[in-house]
Structure 1
C-alpha cells in the first residue's frame, strides 16, 4: 500500500459530506508534508486524522439533532416516557388505595413501604404535565430526580439477583431529562393534536387503573393467572391483562398516528430502550444465558466487561444505525434540491 492509499484509507473515516469538500485539500497537504521516501503515515498523523474523524462525526450528529424535527420528537418522547414511568410507579399505590376503599385492612408497615412509589409516581406525573404544557426545561430539571431514583433502584436490584432484568426503566428515565432539555421550536400541544393528547391521557388512566378495576369489579379469574413478559407484570388475571394491553395499544396509537417525520424519529429514539429490553428480558436476560451473573461461594459476581459492553454498546450502536438509516431515507435524491 502506497502512502497515498494509506491516507485515502484514513480519510475514508470522515463523513461523506466532509470528504467531498475537504478530502483533496487534506490529501495534498499530507503528501506535501511527508518526508522523502516515506511509505506509511506517522503515528502522529494517524492519531490526528482519526481524532479529526471522530470530531467531524460528532459535529455532524449535533447538526442533525439540532433540526426542528428532532427537537419536536425529543419533546414528545419526554412526555410519553414520563407517562410510561408514571404508569409503572403508580399502579401499585393506586391498587392499594382501591383495596383500602374496598375495606381491605392495611398495616402501617405496608403503607410506609408504598410511600416511595407514591412520591416517584407524583414526580413523573408532574414531569408529564409540565411537558404537556410546554414547560420543557422545568420538566427536565424535575426529571433528573426521577432518573436518579431509577438508577439507584437498578443498583439495588443488581446486588440481589443474578440477571439484569429491569434495566430498561433506568435507560428510559435517563433519556427524559436529556430529551426535555432541548429547546423545541413548538410546545408539545402544538406538535401533537388534541386527540392524541387525549389518547395518551386515556392510555395512562387505563394502564394505571387496570389492577384496581379488575380487583374492584371482581371479574378476574384469580385461579388462572397470566404470566407474560410483554405486559411487564406476572400472575395477573385476564381482565387486568386485557386492560393493560388496551392501555399499551392506546399509547401505540398515539405514536403511530403521528406524521411520518415525527413517527420515525420517535421510533429511532426508543431504539436504545427497546434493545435493552430485548437483551435483558427476552433473550440474554433469562436464566442460564449470557447476561446471567455467576456466583462464587454463594455470592453474586459482578457482570464482566464483556457483559457490560454488550449492555452499553449494542443499544448505542443500533441507535446509531437507526439514525443513519433515517438520515439516508430522507436524503434528497439527485433530482431534488438539498
Structure 2
C-alpha cells in the first residue's frame, strides 16, 4: 500500500471512530475496504460528501438507531437534556426581552404597545419546544424549535446589511438554537426528566421561570425621576446599578439581576452537574460550540466590530470570517464528541484490565499449593 493510501486509511479510521464500538468491531474492516475501493488515485483526504454521510450515519446510530448498543445510547439522554435546556435559555431570553420592553414603555412612556410581530414567532416556537420537550412528542418540540430558529435567523440576516455587528453578537445564540433544535429532533423517545430526575427537573424549570421574569421585575422596581414637564430625567435600578443592553436587552439591571440572577444560574448548573457522568460529559461537548463563540467573537472580531460602525454603508463580513463562524462550532463539537468517546473507551479498557487482574489473583489464591 502506498503512502497516500495509508494516510487515507488512517483518516477513514478516525471517521469510523464516530460509530458505536459494537458496530466498528463487526463492520470496520469491511467499511474501510469499501471506502478505499472507491477512493481516487493519490487521494489523501476523505471526500466532503462521504464525510458528511459517515457523520450522519454515526450520529443516527449513536442516538439510538439500528446497530446501537445500550452503552452507545448515551447520546439520546444527553440530547434530550440539551434540547430542553437550550430551548429554556432561548425562551428565557425572549420572555425577558418582551417583558422588559412592555414594562419599560408602560412605566417610562405611559403607553402599553403590542409586541412587534417579529417577536411573536420565536416566542411561540420556543414555548412550544419547551412544553413538548417533556413529552414523547419529539416532532412537535422539534418543529417549534426549528420555527423559532428560522424566525430569528431571518430577522438577524434581514438587518445584516445595515447592522452586521448584530449578527455577530447574536451568532452564539443562533448556534445554540440550531443545536437545541437538532437535539430535539434526534433525541428519539427519551425524555429529559429521565436523566435529570423529577426533583431537579422541577427546580431547573422554576429557576428558568424566575430568570425570565427578572428583567420585568427590574423595570417595575426601578426609580424613575421625571422633569417638571413629565419627561423621564433618569432611571435608577434597585441597588444602584443602571445599565442598558445585556443578555435580554434589559433597560435596567440592578441588584436583582446581579445577585438573584447569578444564584439562579448556579442552581441550573448544579442540576446539570448532578446528571450521570456519561450525560454530563456529552452535555459539555454540546454546549461547547455556543459558549466558545460567546467568548471568541468579542475578541477575534473586535477590530471588525469597531471599524464597521465608521462606514456608511457598514463593512460586511468576508468569506473567510463566515467560514470561521460556521466551521469552528462544528469542528469543536466533533472534537468534543471524539474526546468523550475516546476517554470512555480508555476507561472501559482500564476497567477490563483491572477485572482481569483481580480474577487472576483470585485464581492464584484458590489454586491448590
Report TM bin, short chain. Answer: 0.7 to 0.9
Distance, in Å, in 1 between the alignment partners of 2:181 and 2:52 is: 25
Q: 1:85 aligns with which of 90, 97, 101?
A: 90
Distance 1:6 1:170, change over 3 A: closer
Distance, in Å, in 2 between the alignment partners of 1:44 and 1:166 is: 42
Q: Is 1:279 aligned to residue 279 of structure 2?
A: no
Q: 2:42 aligns with which of 40, 46, 49?
A: 46
Q: Could you tell me which residue of structure 2 aligns to residue 14 of structure 1?
A: 12
Q: Could you tell me which residue of structure 1 aligns to residue 270 of structure 2?
A: 253
Distance 1:301 1:215, change over 3 A: closer
Matches within 5 A, 1:234-245: 236-245=253-262
Q: Deviations over 1:270-319 (max 9, x none)?
A: 12211222232x32243x25x66748962123311110111111111111
Helix, strand or coil at the partner of 1:89: helix
- State whether residues 196 and 272 of structure 2, in contact with CA within 8 Å, keep that contact through their aligned partners in structure 1: no
Distance 1:270 1:157, change over 3 A: farther
Matches within 5 A, 1:150-189: 150-163=152-165, 164-189=168-193
Q: 1:194 aligns with which of 192, 198, 220?
A: 198
- What are structure 1's unaligned runs of at least 5 residues? 31-42
Q: Could you tell me which residue of structure 2 aligns to residue 268 of structure 1?
A: 285
Distance, in Å, in 1 between the alignment partners of 2:136 and 2:276 is: 20
- Residue 324 (structure 1) shift: 1.0
- Residue 237 (structure 1) shift: 1.8
Q: Could you tell me which residue of structure 2 aligns to residue 215 of structure 1?
A: 219
Q: Is 1:333 aligned to residue 349 of structure 2?
A: yes
Q: Could you tell me which residue of structure 2 aligns to residue 64 of structure 1?
A: 62
- State whether residues 272 and 315 of structure 1, in contact with CA within 8 Å, keep that contact through their aligned partners in structure 2: yes
Helix, strand or coil at the partner of 1:266: helix
Distance, in Å, in 2 between the alignment partners of 1:218 and 1:55 is: 52
Distance 1:64 1:106, change over 3 A: same
- Residue 44 (structure 1) shift: 2.9
Matches within 5 A, 1:118-129: 118-129=120-131
Say which is worse superposed, 115-124 or 238-247, in terms of deviation: 115-124
Distance 1:293 1:159, change over 3 A: farther
Q: Could you tell me which residue of structure 1 aligns to residue 242 of structure 2?
A: 225
- Residue 129 (structure 1) shift: 1.0
Distance, in Å, in 1 between the alignment partners of 2:53 and 2:352 is: 26
- Residue 218 (structure 1) shift: 4.8
Q: Normalising by the residue count of structure 2, what TM-score does the alignment of the two structures yield?
A: 0.72
How many residues are paired up?
A: 316
Distance, in Å, in 2 between the alignment partners of 1:104 and 1:230 is: 23
Structure 1 runs (4+) deviating above 6 angstroms are: 17-20, 99-104, 227-232
Q: Could you tell me which residue of structure 2 aligns to residue 131 of structure 1?
A: 133
- Residue 210 (structure 1) shift: 0.9
- State whether residues 231 and 241 of structure 1, in contact with CA within 8 Å, keep that contact through their aligned partners in structure 2: no
Helix, strand or coil at the partner of 2:163: coil
- State whether residues 206 and 243 of structure 1, in contact with CA within 8 Å, keep that contact through their aligned partners in structure 2: no
